[in-house]
Every structure is written in structure tokens, then in C-alpha cells.
Amino acid sequence: MRHLALPSTLNDTASIDATTRLQRIGTAMCCAVALGGAVIELIAAWIWLVPDYVETLIVPRVGLAKSHVTLDGQARLFGFLITSIPLAVLFYLLDRAYRIFDSFRLGDIFTATTPRYLRQIGLAALLLALLNPIASAAISMVLTIGNPPGARMLAITLSSNELILAGFGALILAIGHVQTIANSIAADNRSII
């Protein structure tokens, strides 16, 4: 546990207030990230458990809106397993965000791990942008595998969501890289003084 010393100047008071605010924000974001991850997993499981939800939420998203699909237990299980692959990457991304906010919560603001976590978040977002269309195509195959030959489908869908996610991932990756360089420059400057 960290103890904050009494400030000796007005600037020290502002620094303590800023650190306390950052710790509160870190705590709130840790809770939000953990709760958000749990809600995402529960919603994904619930959707695949209820055939009507699969038909209204998943089928149009994977490009099968006008097609006959099989929504038996086996197809929904395989659909959930396929969905779990991008979800695992999303949870990795959320874990890295949680670790950043947890370090803020603990008062560790400028650490060597933050840029690494930012780069990992960026890479995970880029991977998600790649995995989402592949998972959608695989789900389209699973949901039409019960159709007679000639009615089975492989629907490949791309949306602006993947482009936005890839752009976000590239931006966060660049920020992590720049922060690594900035940390190195700051360390060099500290060693000179």
C-alpha cells in the first residue's frame, strides 16, 4: 500500500490531487473493464442458447438473411465455439486494458509495461479486424451445413467495423511505440541529471 506524504508546496498538493484522481479513474475503469468483459461473455452465450436470437442477431450479420439455416443444438454449439475465438482475442485486449488501469489504480503512472500493453492492445485489435470476417464466414458454413447440397453457403461479409477496428488498432499500436521511445528519452534525460 502506498502512503502519500503531506505536501510541502502548492505544486505538491496539485500533484497529489492529480494522482488521487488518476487512482480513482483507474479503479473505476478496472471495474468497468471487468464488468464489460463478463457481460459480453454472458450475452454471447445467451444469444447462442436461444435459436430466435441467433436467427435475428447472428444470421443477418453473417450474410444469411434470406437463406435457410439450421439452428439445432449442434449448429449453435459450433457457432458459439467459433464466436469464442474472436472473443478470446477481445478478452486478451480487455485484460491488457485492465492491467494499464490497474497500474494507474496503484499509482504507477509511467511504467515500462504501459507502452507494451498499448502495443499488445493495438495488435489484438488488428487481429480482431482480421478474425471477425473469418469467423463470420465459418459461422455461415456451420449454419447452412444442414442444408441439401447446393443450398449450403459460405458468406463472406466485410463491414466498415473491421476497417474502424483496424484503424483503432494501428493508432494504439503507434501510441504504444511512441510511448516506448518517449520513456527511453526520459530515462536518458534522468541519467544525465
Closest to 63 measured CA to CA, from 176, 144, 172: 144
Model confidence at 6, in pLDDT bands (50, 70, 90)?
very low
Predicted TM-score (pTM) of the model is 0.83
Average pLDDT on 156-171 reads: 93
Q: Is residue 7's pLDDT more than 60? A: no
Asked if residues 92 and 145 have their Cβ atoms less than 8 Å apart, the reply is no
On the 0-12 / 13-18 / 19+ scale of CB atoms within 10 A, 35 is exposed
Tell me the per-residue pLDDT of 77-125, one tens digit each, with 9 for 90 and over. 999 999 999 999 999 999 999 999 999 999 887 788 999 999 999 999 9
pLDDT(24) > 80? yes
> What pLDDT was estimated at residue 9?
52
What is the structure's pLDDT at 157? 86
What average pLDDT does the chain have? 89
Please say if the pLDDT value at position 4 is more than 50. no
Rounded average pLDDT over 144-170: 90
Burial class of residue 132, CB neighbours in 10 A (0-12, 13-18, 19+): buried
pLDDT of residue 112: 83
CA distance 124 to 131: 10
> Crossing angle for the helix pair 73-105 and 10-49, nearest 10 degrees?
170
